[in-house]
Amino acid sequence: MATHYREEHKVDFYAAHLNLSAHHLTQIVKLVTGQSVSDFIFEMLFSEARNLLTHSKLSIQEIATTLNFSDQSSFGKFFKRKAGVSPVDFRKDIVFVEEE
């Protein structure tokens, strides 16, 4: 998962690569991490999104593309659902903190 999470967000992809059923993979990941496979993938994506917003000069669109979201809007919705703020507002808060 750590190798492909930026490109692939679907459980079936990982299950196929591991020659497991999606159900079996879900059970294993849940046992080891306490999270569903989807939640685990989304946590990695969210962590990388925060990292890119904080430490890169990439535009929001470029970050959405890098993380293989279909468009900037879907990335924005994903990020806001996880962070409670939009990627733009998250980045503004980072800049604001650094300037103080």
Q: Give the Cβ contact number of residue 96 at 10 Å.
A: 9
User: Which alpha helices (H) appear in the chain, and where do they start and end?
Assistant: 11-17, 22-33, 37-55, 60-66, 72-83, 87-99
**Domain that residue 89 falls in:** 11-99
- Residue among 59, 71, 30, 63 nearest 47 (CA): 63
pLDDT of 96 strictly over 70: no
Can you give the pLDDT at residue 95? Answer: 53
Q: What is the mean pLDDT of residues 87-98?
A: 74
pLDDT of 100 strictly over 80: no
CATH code of the domain covering residue 39: 1.10.10.60
Domain contains 57: yes
Q: What is the mean pLDDT of residues 9-13?
A: 87
Q: What is the mean pLDDT of residues 10-20?
A: 90
- The rounded Cα 65 to chain-centroid distance in angstroms is 12
Could you tell me if 4 and 14 are in contact, meaning their C-beta atoms sit under 8 angstroms apart?
A: yes
- Whole-number percent of the chain with pLDDT over 90: 64
Over the stretch 28-66, which tens digit does the pLDDT of each residue have?
999 998 988 889 889 999 999 999 999 999 999 999 999
Q: How far apart are CA 79 and CA 99, in angstroms?
A: 24
The model's pTM: 0.80
Can you give the pLDDT at residue 72? Answer: 94
Domain contains 21: yes
Domain contains 5: no
